[in-house]
Amino acid sequence: MTITDSGRIAQSAGAGERPARPPRFTLDGDAALEGHLDLTCARVLSGIRGLIPSQNLEAVMLGGGYGRGEGGVLRGLDGDRPYNDLEFYVAIRGNRHFNEFRFHRRLDVLGEILSHLADVEIEFKITSLAELAARPISMFSYDLIAGHRRLWGSQAAGLLPGCDHHGRAGEIPPAEAARLLMNRCSGLLFARVELGREPFTPAAADFVRRNIAKVQLACGDAVLAAAGRYHWSCLERHRRLEILAASEPAPWLDAVLRHHGAGVEFKLHPALDGLPRGALMALHSEVTALALQCWLSLEGRRLGRAFPSARAYADDAGDKCPGSSPVTNLFLNLRAAGLRPRVHPSPWRNPRGRIFRSMTLLLWEPSIFSDPGLRSRLETELNARGHSASDWIAAYRALWRRIR
């Protein structure tokens, strides 16, 4: 297994992997779009090198769909345009927290300036090669290491030394499937809020459609990750999901496959089709119901106990993140609570379990705002009081942003 110049893992024949393609940002974007993205990367790199001393800068990588060569192509009468955010990973020698304090604001300003020229939002994430090498594999680290576009870094040095373990997709922990669904279903929850706003703007419609598509994709991706069959390419993931659905016939798995196909299509060729609110509400309801089936099934398998309903999952007192370090969990809970220690929920359990429970209640339990017992549980999990649905969603969003 070797890393190609574009950062993709080259697999040997017979390994069930597709060979790496020549470096492109998209599968089928026109030459103008490819050139635009290439110029954007050059501008970004020039800006980064102007902000960060060369002796500190280790590597600059474009991650996400465009880094893997599967970025979204928005078709238009004037040609192709980008659609997804551009995610740049900036590896800087030394302590990440110190480097974030030193460079984060500068990079944010650079991103704001260049986003206008790029026609999409530009995001920067600060890391270091030593930190990447020391981390255990996650879905994020696998996606980055297995598929990225290198903009800066020593090819002779191998760019990402010590990161071979991040290339083994079969070793992604099952908890990563839960984390993926948690994040994507949170987007589904926020999309529900947008569906109820007045006026319902085209920007709101795009937000709703995009987050629905992310869940359509994530349901199938989570099934594959839990089965040890995840892959960096969305096309290859869909092929593997077809094989899995054929070998394990089940109505809900067929629905996962169908929606995953729609999610792949939207990811590669997003459409601003202007679906009316009624159609979006119907699709949102259908995908929300499917996501619940996936969530309860995969969480039941991961935690070793059955959950017949969303309420049963939220009422279950067991640790939703078993095996996590109590000391680390204490610090995470302190950060989530603004450094104010609390006895309930347990400060020794991973606070992500609080997000799991509260998300399950807010997204899938219709009696959450009328049942005093459920409201009390939600208050405990979110460490907040609310008087309306918007209050609870705001409290959930704040916790989710700190812990996700």
pLDDT for 20 beyond 80: no
Helix (H, G, I), strand (E, B) or coil at 332: helix
pLDDT at 191 over 70: yes
**Model confidence pLDDT, tens digit, residues 222-249:** 999 999 999 999 999 999 999 999 998 7
The shares of helix, strand and coil residues in the chain, as percent rounded to the nearest 5, are 55, 10, 35
Residue type, 378: L
**Residues above pLDDT 70, as percent of the chain:** 91
Q: Does pLDDT of 336 surpass 90?
A: no
- Whole-number pLDDT of residue 257: 97
Over residues 89-105, the pLDDT tens digits come to 999 999 999 999 999 99
The structure tokens 């480097």 sit at: 99
As a whole number of angstroms, the distance between CA 111 and CA 86 comes to 10
The number of beta carbons lying within 10 Å of the beta carbon of residue 285 is 12
CATH 1.20.120 fits 173-304, yes or no: yes
pTM score, whole prediction: 0.90
pLDDT tens digit sequence for 260-288:
999 999 999 998 877 899 999 999 999 99
Instruction: Give dist(CA 290, CA 299) in Å, integer.
Output: 14
Q: Does domain 2-170 have CATH number 3.40.710.10?
A: no
Residue-wise pLDDT for 38-93, tens only, equals: 999 999 999 999 999 999 999 999 999 999 999 999 999 899 999 999 999 999 99
pLDDT at 209 over 80: yes
Distance CA 315, CA 322 (A): 17
Mean pLDDT of 307-321: 95
Q: What does 351-382 look like in DSSP terms, one character per residue?
A: THHHHHHHHHHHHH-TTTTT-HHHHHHHHHHH
Q: For residues 123-134, b (16+ Cβ closer than 10 Å) or e, as one string? A: bbbbbbbbebee
- β-sheet bridge partners, residue 74: 81
Query: Where does 15-93 show beta strands of DSSP type E?
Result: 57-62, 73-74, 81-82, 86-92
Q: Average per-residue pLDDT in the chain?
A: 90
Going by their DSSP bridges, the two strands 122-127 and 86-92 should be labelled as parallel
Kindly list the domain boundaries of the chain, sorted by start residue.
2-170, 173-304, 307-404
Distance CA 248, CA 263 (A): 21
Query: Reduced to 3 states, what is the DSSP secondary structure of residue 61?
Result: strand
Residue range 371-379: mean pLDDT, rounded: 89
3 DSSP assignment: E
Instruction: pLDDT band for 13, please (50, 70, 90 cuts).
Output: very low
Look at residue 10 in the predicted model and tell me its pLDDT.
Answer: 37
pLDDT at 249: 79
Of residues 141 and 250, more confidence is placed in 141
Q: Which residues contact 114 (CB under 8 A, 6 or more apart)?
A: 40, 43, 44, 47, 122
The residues pairing with 149 across neighbouring beta strands, listed in sequence order, are 62
Q: What is the mean pLDDT of residues 144-166?
A: 79
Q: Give the pLDDT band of residue 6 (cuts 50, 70, 90).
A: very low
